[in-house]
Structure 1
């Protein structure tokens, strides 16, 4: 099997993205952040409330939340993808999460009235994070079971899941493509960085002076939003002899965020440092084990993947599960927002959220109207995407 060179990657990645996005309406929503922000830019006046200036996820859908391993050894459900993070309006995260939940509900064939109730539960969970910012919430069983599973995982499970090989080798194939000579040379130079050595040795109580060896590296074929960006998997050996440990490093290029930022907000100009700073504010379990660097003259952020890092697997849901998940995940997002605000700002934002509610729906009217518009536009966009994708697969006669 001939694997693509760096110059041949882009059209193949485009085809893979089209395939993923055609799998379901929910997959289309996950992979099309740009359409969400195109809709957002089309709004006039005060269609959404203007929340306080805090770091937001910027792409707050179900797939970007899940269990994360913390350097302390604990496992916490937090935001796990911060590519789009900016200092912006927290209402944007709420609408994006609501759209994702509503699309998942439709994928589970739940009636529209359940979608309305999901939004009610979501707002209640989000507000609770502001009313009791230090109080932990018990996750629903469908999420708690995944947290318990993540705690019991080790290197072999991570290696089989991520690289299909528990041995210290990255297998080239559909998921991993070979590096160019330039990329390989730059990779070896990157791992001469003392900060990167410290990033690797600080986890799992590794010795600070433990030797770190680059064993293998490959271009990682992963995700829809990273089309055309640099993405690498790097396998390292830490320590010597029987005490040697292995770790898998994820290196990802940081591109300019599509999410709108507040005009006068002070953020790092370098996109990798923007992602790192946002992660430190929103998801300490992730931000405390990340590093911003340069690779081939591009900003990249680097993290060690831990066995406990998992994307939530939420497929077919009944109505009760859907509402419990909505409440809990909104609380997770609310906690990430609330920790950046003092008491006065929290009370002001909470007061704003309690406005614009009708007698028939205990969720702000702006949230309901936004979800209705977005579900309709994404349904249309999904069908058009599938039509174009199907036509692109037809062979000329």
Structure 2
């Protein structure tokens, strides 16, 4: 029996085909291709009224911790690639004027190559997936693919890859996305939903590439070592690096300005016991957003917290690490509470359906990831300044690891590109209409070639923006810290 054998039902209230009408969903994708041919996605040229990229960064800084903004700029100043990592708003603005198919899915919003990596599932499997959802929102699936493929072009330039090597890598991103989406569209429904990328399967792929002499043996060894290292990056290792004993009490060690214990930044006259009472209440309240009705967090109590600078694009938002104690001083847990602001996409797309941005991040992450951290939840907090701010919480480390751009080689980049493209497709297939997207993409490489061309021209734009940014720092318009 075919998928559509008994599915002649009408379209739903939005005018979209009924979810059970697989043939109509495929026709939706083909109709979108007729309206917006795949070749329309090729290339990039800035419109005459393109916003000044430096102004966009200045606008973002208004809601961030003032003393941390120069650290953000210093990290972005390192290279065009690190600038790109912090330029999600700039690219969202640019993408808002590009062609789209009209098919919407939950998108990451910041799908560059460094926002993919490995982490441990609740079942203690090591999987590969998207690992940053600060900007997630329903939107055009093409925006994520374009941001991802452009990141590989920019990283390839940073590493000195040839034009041919970068083009091959860029096409690998889109081919990986397209082929994974086609497979998901043809799969049984539950197979497409349960799909994931475990590292054992990935290593088998790398071994096959090594045997076929498409990658060097050192690439296999390097990847295997990186995965082994990821398994050591758990909460206890983080405790060993970040926690010290002061006067017989456990405390997060200060490393100003990157790590600032709460007592160093609390307002004058604020008592430590006030923080303890507040955090105990917030942790209790946050538990109501967790998936498990009876959660291990109930057996931990608050010990200490500190503000920690994280990432590149996130620098300046409020991010805390929270030390929790279980049975005794040898049973410790570190949580990360990261501020969730309005998504950069919300300037150009309908606003989030969720009242709290922490919930927006968590619900998007749960939808797009194959498996999520059991500590992932959200909470709204009133700060020392009386302003309500949204946060999402998760474990600080849980077998986490990511690719190192600084040692990436062409063959490894090509393999990683296909993996990231396929992983993005898996996330979109869960949250959007995989059948319609697959029908839009088709089985030829037209979309692959179009986006490879887009990536090349958008990387040129990124270099121009980086130069304008560097000039703004040199002129004193923006202040960058001396160290990062």
Shorter-chain TM-score bucket reads 0.7 to 0.9
Aligned to 2:202: 138
Are 2:458 and 1:374 aligned? yes
**1:87 maps to which residue?**
138
Q: Which has the larger radius of gyration?
A: 2
1:87 and 1:265 in contact (8 A); partners too: no
Query: Is residue 239 from structure 1 mapped to residue 321 from structure 2 by the alignment?
Result: no
Q: Distance in 2 between matches of 1:56 and 1:166?
A: 43
- 2:114 aligned with 1:63: yes
Counterpart Cα distance in 2 of 1:382 and 1:183:
44
2:93 to 38, 41, 45: 38
Deviation at 1:198, TM superposition (A): 8.0
Query: In structure 2, do the counterparts of structure 1 residues 306 and 200 end up closer, same or farther at CA, with 3 Å as the change threshold?
Result: farther
Relative distance call for 1:199 and 1:276 in structure 2 (3 A) is closer
Is 1:29 the equivalent of 2:84? yes
Higher mean Cα deviation, 279-288 or 34-43? 279-288
Deviation at 1:125, TM superposition (A): 1.4
- The Cα of 1:340 is off from its aligned counterpart by 2.6
Which residue is equivalent to 1:171?
Answer: 253
The residue number in structure 1 matching 2:278 is 189
Normalised to the residue count of structure 2, the TM-score between the two structures is 0.68
3-state DSSP class of the match of 1:268?
coil
- Segments of structure 2 that go 5 or more residues without pairing to the other structure are 1-63, 185-191, 207-219, 383-387
Query: Is the contact between residue 217 and residue 234 of structure 1 (CA under 8 Å) also seen in structure 2?
Result: yes
Identify the residue that residue 448 of structure 2 maps to in structure 1: 363
Q: How many residues align?
A: 370
Task: Return closer, same or farther for 1:67/1:166 CA change in 2, 3 Å cut-off.
Answer: farther
Deviations along 1:276-299, one digit per CA (max 9) or x if unpaired, are 100101125335431111111221
1:330 maps to which residue? 421
How far apart are residue 336 of structure 1 and its match?
A: 1.1
1:257 aligned partner: 343
The correspondence for 2:230, drawn from 129, 150, 153, is 150
1:225: Cα distance to partner? 2.6
Unpaired stretches in structure 1, ≥5 consecutive residues: 1-8
**Quick one: distance in 1 between partners of 2:458 and 2:416?**
21
1:197 Cα deviation from its structure 2 partner: 5.6
Deviation of the 1:379 alpha carbon: 0.4
- CA deviations on 1:179-201 (whole Å, 9 max, x unpaired) are 31569635632422435468899
Q: Given the alignment of the two structures, is residue 351 of structure 1 paired with residue 439 of structure 2, yes or no?
A: yes
Report what 1:49 is aligned to.
101
In the alignment, the residues of structure 1 paired with residue 153 and residue 271 of structure 2 have an alpha-carbon distance, to the nearest angstrom, of: 42
Cα–Cα, structure 1 residues 259 and 176, in superposed 2: closer, same or farther, change >3 Å? same
User: C-alpha separation between the residues in 2 aligned to 1:90 and 1:64?
Assistant: 16
2:349 counterpart of 1:285: no
Report the TM-score when normalising by structure 1. 0.82
Equivalent in 339, 343, 353 of residue 267 of structure 1? 353
CA, structure 1 residues 235+41, in 2 after alignment: closer, same or farther (shift >3 Å)?
Answer: same
Cα deviation per residue 1:197-219 (whole Å; 9 max; x = unaligned)? 688997xx986753x22221112
